[in-house]
Amino acid sequence: AQSVSQHNHHVILSEAASLELGCNYSYGGTVNLFWYVQYPGQHLQLLLKYFSGDPLVKGIKGFEAEFIKSKFSFNLRKPSVQWSDTAEYFCAVRPSGSARQLTFGSGTQLTVLP
């Protein structure tokens, strides 16, 4: 079975700082990778996803993530965070071609100070 580790439980940054949130997964085969975001009081929504091709994927609101297969990692980055990026971020993995469940990490709470 697959698993996901998010090493940072809570990250606090000032506006304009750069962001990198770590995500490592464990699975022996090909995977689809996702980052979801949950803003305060809102539902989970997709930030970006990787299925195949260019390992650097760009998502909404200036976020990007890089898939490094050799490291089983899919870290989320943003060059300059804004106060509105304050949210909880979840990394998730699913075996490629599977119609079934996403396995989520435990999440990283990002707080951006104005």
Binding site for other proteins (CB under 8 A): 4, 6, 32, 34, 42-46, 49, 51, 90, 92, 97-107
User: How near is the Cβ of 85 to other proteins at its closest, in Å?
Assistant: 19
User: How near is the Cβ of 71 to other proteins at its closest, in Å?
Assistant: 21
Q: Decide whether 70 or 100 has the Cβ nearer to other proteins.
A: 100
Q: What are the DSSP E strand ranges found in 15-72? A: 19-21, 24-26, 31-38, 45-50, 56-58, 64-68
Q: Are 30 and 95 in contact (CB under 8 A)?
A: yes
User: How many whole angstroms separate alpha carbon 91 and alpha carbon 113?
Assistant: 23
Q: Decide whether 19 or 108 has the Cβ nearer to other proteins.
A: 108
